[in-house]
Amino acid sequence: MDHERADHVPECLECGVCCFSDLEGFVRVWGADYERLGRSAPDLSVFIGNRCFMRMVDGHCAALELSPDTGAFVCSIYGQRPQICRDLERGSAECAGERSLKGDRPTRWLREVRSRHTR
Ligand code: SF4
Ligand code: SF4
């Protein structure tokens, strides 16, 4: 697997790009993932047919929250996140692909939310 130099890659807690998608079925939740989510599972996941995924809200995973302290996007269930999120390694080719494809999403999202509040 190709890896970028670590100093070229943002910290995940200052990025969040791979948690954005317009797809309803984006982050697969398998049985073990569902169990790990515990009491949050019914709220944070959704069944599409007989397959379970993280619920998507406003173009990002429902577990992704904007930290009021830092203004950064944070996974609110980091310790319980699904396996697919654990497998996406920071600095990997997949990480680079996500950032290349969707790098503007967090900034765009913030701009849209702020403009909604000023209307
Ligand atoms: S894995 Fe990559 S794309 Fe995902 S949050 Fe971390 S740096 Fe960003
Ligand atoms: S569970 Fe956490 S790491 Fe995985 S997509 Fe959702 S917010 Fe991102």
Position 112 confidence tier, pLDDT thresholds 50, 70, 90: confident
Q: The pTM is what?
A: 0.90
Consecutive H or E run containing 99 = helix 93-102
Q: Cα of 119 to ligand 2 centre, how many Å?
A: 30
Q: Cα of 119 to ligand 1 centre, how many Å?
A: 32
For the stretch 39-86, pLDDT in tens is: 999 999 999 999 999 999 999 999 999 887 777 889 999 999 999 999
Position 1 confidence tier, pLDDT thresholds 50, 70, 90: very low
Q: Where are the domains of the chain?
A: 6-118
For the stretch 102-111, pLDDT in tens is: 999 998 988 8
